[in-house]
Amino acid sequence: MEMNDYTAEFQHGDCLEILRDFPAGKFDLIFTSPPYADSRLKTYGGIKPDEYVGWFLKRAEEFHRVLSDMGSFVLNIKEKVVNGERHTYVLELILALRQQGWLWTEEYIWHKKNCHPGKWPNRFRDAWERCLHFTKRKDFKMFQEEVMVPMGNWHKNRLRRLGENDVIRLDSKVGSGFGKNIANWLGRDKAYPSNVIHLATECGNKNHSASFPLALPEWFIKLFTREGDWVLDPFVGSGTTCEAAARLARHSVGIDIVREYVDLARSHASQYSGMRLLDKTATYGKTKRKRANGIH
Amino acid sequence: MEMNDYTAEFQHGDCLEILRDFPAGKFDLIFTSPPYADSRLKTYGGIKPDEYVGWFLKRAEEFHRVLSDMGSFVLNIKEKVVNGERHTYVLELILALRQQGWLWTEEYIWHKKNCHPGKWPNRFRDAWERCLHFTKRKDFKMFQEEVMVPMGNWHKNRLRRLGENDVIRLDSKVGSGFGKNIANWLGRDKAYPSNVIHLATECGNKNHSASFPLALPEWFIKLFTREGDWVLDPFVGSGTTCEAAARLARHSVGIDIVREYVDLARSHASQYSGMRLLDKTATYGKTKRKRANGIH
DNA sequence: AGCTCTTATGAATCATTGA
DNA sequence: GTCAATGATTCATAAGAGC
């Protein structure tokens, strides 16, 4: 079996502390779904809504430091309903992150095609989450071709016979200014997506269900990094982000404050052949490399 | 031809002024798509992004006054890209409206299936807008059954082939209660929607294209009002909101600061038989009722 | 009821110029 | 230099007609 040149490293602890050992500009992408604010303290990672922004901001400062200049920070988050209202901590967080120097470049919507069932008297099922895209600079790395989706079959039939009207749209009707050029579609079989991402939530075949499907980090990893780049998930949970990175031949670092999650994530990762798994106790720079256990 | 008991009234002017003549609590729903903040001053209603919140807030105070206690205020809006970033005026507006006493009950997403064309190096096409739902109280009016959607063939085919065992197996496999829910759907042909609304921007054959399709206000009018209720659009534009209200037998008032729009909206409305069209110069309480012109 | 083909259509961004 | 205006460029799909 051949070893490839990418690694997955998992560390147990608070990312605020752990990240201090990493050099500035190391990562090309930070993708994470942080513990959501929750008024119930006993919940894992339960930070009170009113303390959330301050709590997050300290960590975001480290994120900013370890992210490369042309890298991206994608935050999958959704505000909870508190006392019948959507809480505003996410809005406040966006404003605060901008104050911290981040550019709020875009907000992608993850549309959850099969969202959790349920019925309430004054609310429908929540079928979407935010994927906030922050960057350090306006000229960040983006590889749009990597996430193109197959076009429908319509265009094949369409292109077989190009009519005259297809080459230039008749703007005599209203004159609103578009000139559509069908010829642009020649030879294409893929289309660019929009900023709405349609993905079903994965329910269930894993032990611990992740908060998002593998395809979500995959999409952003393909969009914002190249093979061999470095991906960070500071709240790695069951390790979905690192799993996606590994499958796409990116290096990754996953951090979580819950030891069980780190163990779980590491055991998931060990199932990917070709990944070098770093010792959890290793600190960056003097890591003992260890063979992945459980490689077949 | 029979006259029904609903009216559409259009007034020209700044809603800030016009609304002062309306009694408190008159309206059951305010649905509107305000002029978006724009740095280009000449554009219709172009308010500068940095002045937007203050500009809006003064008007929202009147909205709050004329809205009934159990009514809803739905704001269709999307922040523009300014200087490579999403501008934050919408976020700030939400926070400010809460300060003003509104409850930010929910945020619906309008997914624009046919969004504006374009291609940029660091951005995909924008395919969604916010529909922010504000209320005055937690116990607002909501009629969920009115917007139930026919279930697609997805479940019909699925359920037709689904024996009892299949349902049970599905249920236990997933373990999240989803299977149970499928069993509940047996015999039903309608399902509740989620908070993501999929609509194409089909403005159609009108002269002046509306910013949203008829189906958008229709959806919220059905959801938050009953026949005979009162609907307000303080930035009525080409009159789509009032048109939707008329088709659903709700009274409506439309206001716009651009006289051409008011005229346009009125002429659209006049095409709906059964609607009593009020004189534009009428003030509330002493309106001269006028036969709709152009009724066939 | 499907298939093929035709037609319609959109609250956008960005780079550049001008004040 | 900042701000305001102008112009160039741009996709992917849905709905409908005809067979």
B27 beta partners: B67
What is the tens place of the pLDDT at every residue in A22-59? Answer: 999 999 999 999 988 776 655 556 788 889 999 999 99
In this prediction, residues B113-142 reach a mean pLDDT of 95
Report the residue of B122, B139, B146, B176 to disrupt the A interface, i.e. the one with the largest count of A CBs within 10 Å: B122
Of the candidates A88, A114, A193, which has its C-beta nearest B98's C-beta? A88
Confidence of residue A282 (pLDDT cuts 50, 70, 90): very low
Expressed in percent and rounded to 5, the helix, strand and coil fractions of chain B are 30, 25, 45
Q: Do A125 and B86 touch (CB under 8 A)?
A: no
pLDDT of residue B18: 98
Instruction: Return the structure tokens found at A174.
Output: 């209203």
Helix axes B164-174 and B178-185, enclosed angle (nearest 10): 150
C-beta of residue B122 within 8 angstroms of C-beta of residue A105: yes
C-beta of residue B36 within 8 angstroms of C-beta of residue B279: no
- The Cα A238–Cα A262 span in angstroms is 7
In this prediction, residues A269-278 reach a mean pLDDT of 71
Chain B partners of A140 at a C-beta cutoff of 8 Å? 122
pLDDT above 70 coverage of chain B, percent: 72
pLDDT above 90 coverage of chain A, percent: 61
Q: Do B126 and A178 touch (CB under 8 A)?
A: no
Instruction: For residue B38, give the nucleotide whose C1' atom is nearest its CA.
Output: C11
Expressed in percent and rounded to 5, the helix, strand and coil fractions of chain A are 30, 25, 45
What is the tens place of the pLDDT at every residue in A163-218? Answer: 444 444 544 333 444 555 555 665 667 889 999 999 988 765 554 567 899 999 99
Residue nearest to nucleotide C14 (CA to C1'): B120
Q: Do A124 and B192 touch (CB under 8 A)?
A: yes
C-beta of residue B141 within 8 angstroms of C-beta of residue B70: yes
Q: Where along chain B do its domains lie?
A: 3-147+193-292, 149-191
Q: Do A117 and B178 touch (CB under 8 A)?
A: yes
Pick from B241, B295, B222: nearest CA to B1? B295
- Say whether pLDDT at A233 is over 60: yes
Task: Write the DSSP symbol of residue A146.
Answer: G
Give the CATH H-level superfamily of domain A3-147+193-292: Vaccinia Virus protein VP39 (3.40.50.150)
What is the tens place of the pLDDT at every residue in B143-198? Answer: 999 999 876 554 444 443 332 223 322 322 222 233 334 444 444 578 899 999 99
**Number of A:B CB contacts under 8 A?**
117
Kindly report the average pLDDT of chain B as a whole number: 79
Letter string b/e over residues A266-296, b meaning 16 or more CB atoms within 10 A of that residue's CB: bbbbbebeebbbbebebebeeeeeeebeeee
Report the residue of A70, A75, A81, A85 to disrupt the B interface, i.e. the one with the largest count of B CBs within 10 Å: A85
pLDDT of residue A108: 97
Of the candidates B104, B115, B193, which has its C-beta nearest A194's C-beta? B115
Within 7 A of a protein CB, which nucleotides of strand D? 4-6, 9-15
pLDDT of residue B31: 98
